[in-house]
Structure 1
Amino acid sequence: MAQGCSDAGFCTMGALRPDQKFSRRVNFRLRSVEVSQYLGMTRFDDLVWVTTAEATFGLNNDNYFHIKLPYQHTVGPLGEHGGLSDLSLSYTRTLRREENWQVSASVGVKVPMSSPNLTSPEGLPLPMYYQPTLGTYDIIAGASWISKNWLFATGIQHALTRTPSDFLWAPWQGHPMEEIILLYPQSNNLRRGTDVMVRVERSLRLGNKNFYLGMLPIYRLQEDIIVRPDGTEIQVADTNGLVLTALGGFGYQFSTKMGIKGLVGYRLIQREKNPDGLSRKIVFSLGYEYRF
């Protein structure tokens, strides 16, 4: 969910999304709109609220476009700050469909709708945990295999540009909040590493209800890079490696047109530092979908 997710946005795009339903029948409702509300808690006990609007436009039963735009609002010891997040656009195609399974692939982009330059009332730069956007242009690619009860997906996300953040500790020296500020990793002119994800889910579908459990490992291939006050670049130690989240969710269809879905995610393994502000201890999400 862009800044609102525990990843940089690609785990909820196209073929990489959770809770994908396999059906042998042709889907005559090729368009849908969805509104969801998300709540995440960071390791610093900031509360991150994200409201997301998204839509799917099917060209036919094997090709569709997916678009989503979140609005993020963060509440914590550094105040309340919010704004538009990153627009995600993806195209998905079903590559092969068999009696009991199908394979799909997606390509997409993420475009910033604002800049990560929100400041304190005194004009001091805020950590990325309080910024609604990563401020980068990203490319995404991935694929999924789904059956009646299983979902396997994998994808990659690469940032083409740097995050134009100004957050450093130095401007906060002598401030009453300096002790708290020092807990947040610096992110000045951040170059984010490339992420690779794998999604594994087991689902149970009972009529108009469904439940699922899953695991979502995300591996950052390189350490993040920031620019120090003297203008030199440094690699930030402990910013690459594995993040692992356990997931559980449900869905309920009121009719062929309308339904709700919910999700809970709990962090099992996390990286030591997250200059991009994406670390979440636990997340909750509830959404409403309308198909037409």
Structure 2
Amino acid sequence: MKKIKPLFLLLILNTISYAQGCSDAGICSVGNSFSNEIQESKNGIELGSIFGKGEADVISISSYITYTRNFSERFSLSGKVTYSQASGEFGTRGQFGDAYAIGNYKFKKMTNKQWSSLFGFKFPFSSANLKINGYPIPLDYQASLGTFDAIVGITFNYKKWDFNSALQLPIINNNKNSYFKEYSGTDDFPSTNLFERKPDVLFRSNYTLKTTNQKFTFRPNLLFIYHLGEDSYKNIFGNRERISGSEGLTINGNLITSYSINSKSSIELSLATPFVVRTIRPDGLTRSITAGFTYKRSF
């Protein structure tokens, strides 16, 4: 525990000073489906909320509910629905964001080792074209990026270590955003008219620590997220233009701390801080502060 406390405090301080959310597109959060803990209960519910402070002091609160059905010790299906609200100089806007359907399959366990895989889809509830008082707003205020995505991943568990990778691939782009910074009166956000987003790949290393009484669990992990190409938008002349600096690597340090209330319920706190970030994130995912809280119950 003496070694755990300094790491926990360091990540909290870093998060307060500067933190960057991983991806509203979803590739980080669905990584939780990689969990190799065998669930004795058939059903599970998660209720969570993430607080973030973004560009130009935009405050966002993203909430979600997830239902998981364990059909066997090896196979489970999860459904997730998100709702997001953003407030800033443009005003306040809230909307249901995305729905996810994720399947997880665990291969036969070997001594201290196990492989598992996931496959799923993301479905948007909006086309990222929400407005405030009739005016177009940037993606920082949007609850969804408006894309239908395929998500695939694989993980390897060895004792207390987990190593997983995933790909999030937009397959249908229904983004109808119409924001132009030229007409907005501010340069805080890049133009994202008819925005097109490139895929993301993720690699995560995760280590699990538990206290003697098994009540507290600490999962420090390191995430590498690479954005595969430059995003683009249609400029005021109707030509598609790439957004320079939107391709590249983000490296996030993350700490997940959970407390077991009883054998069926737990609460979880997640804090993150970046070590490397992309030059520009037109998708509106930049955060100066991020903190997440989750309640989990199985039955």
TM-score w.r.t. the length of structure 2 is: 0.88
Which residue does the alignment assign to 1:175?
A: none
Q: Using CA pairs below 8 Å that are at least 6 residues apart, which structure has the higher relative contact order?
A: 2
Structure 2 partner of 1:268: 275
Q: Percent identity?
A: 24
* Structure 2 residues not aligned, in runs of 5+: 1-19
Q: Which of 200, 204, 221 is the equivalent residue of 1:199?
A: 204
Aligned to 2:32: 17
Change (3 A) 1:99 1:29: farther
Q: Please give the per-residue CA displacement for 1:58-88, whole angstroms capped at 9, x wherever unaligned.
A: 1111000011111101122221111100101
- Give the aligned residue type for 1:288: Y
Pairwise mapping of residues 135-284 of structure 1 onto structure 2 (< 5 A)? Answer: 135-162=146-173, 163-172=175-184, 178-179=185-186, 182-206=187-211, 207-284=214-291
Describe the shift of the 1:245–1:35 C-alpha distance in structure 2 as closer, same or farther (beyond 3 A). Answer: same
Distance apart, 1:21 and its partner CA: 5.0
Matching residue's letter, 1:6: C
Is 1:83 equivalent to 2:95 in the alignment?
Answer: yes
Aligned length: 276
Separation in structure 2 between the aligned mates of residue 99 and residue 27 of structure 1, nearest angstrom? 19
- Structure 1 pair 156/40, CA: closer, same or farther in 2 (3 Å)? same
What amino acid sits opposite 2:224 in the alignment?
A: P
Deviation of 1:281 (Å): 2.9
Which among 58, 70, 79 is matched to residue 46 of structure 1? 58
Residue 101 of structure 1 and its aligned partner are, at CA, apart by 2.4
Counterpart CA distance in 1 for 2:55 and 2:78 is: 31
* Deviates most, 91-100 or 188-197: 91-100
Residues 1:19 and 1:264: Cα distance change in structure 2 (over 3 Å): farther
| Distance in 1 of aligned mates of 2:247 and 2:62 | 25
Q: Which residue of 2 aligns with 1:291?
A: 298
1:164 aligns to what SS in structure 2? coil
Task: Provide the rounded CA distance (Å) in 2 between the counterparts of 1:45 and 1:19.
Answer: 33
2:93–2:132 CA contact under 8 A, matched in 1: no
1:234, CA displacement in angstroms? 1.1
Show structure 1 runs of 5+ residues with no match. Answer: 173-177
Assess if the C-alpha contact under 8 Å between 2:34 and 2:116 holds in 1.
no
Separation in 2, partners of 1:19, 1:109: 15
How far, CA to CA, are the matches of 1:60 and 1:263 in structure 2? 28
For 1:20, give the aligned amino acid.
Answer: S
Match of 1:132 in 2: 143
Secondary structure of the structure 1 residue equivalent to 2:140: helix
With normalisation by structure 1, the TM-score equals 0.90
Which AA in structure 1 matches 2:22?
Answer: S
Tell me the residue number matched to 1:74: 86
- RMSD of Structure 2 on Structure 1 (CA): 1.7
User: Which residue matches 1:59?
Assistant: 71
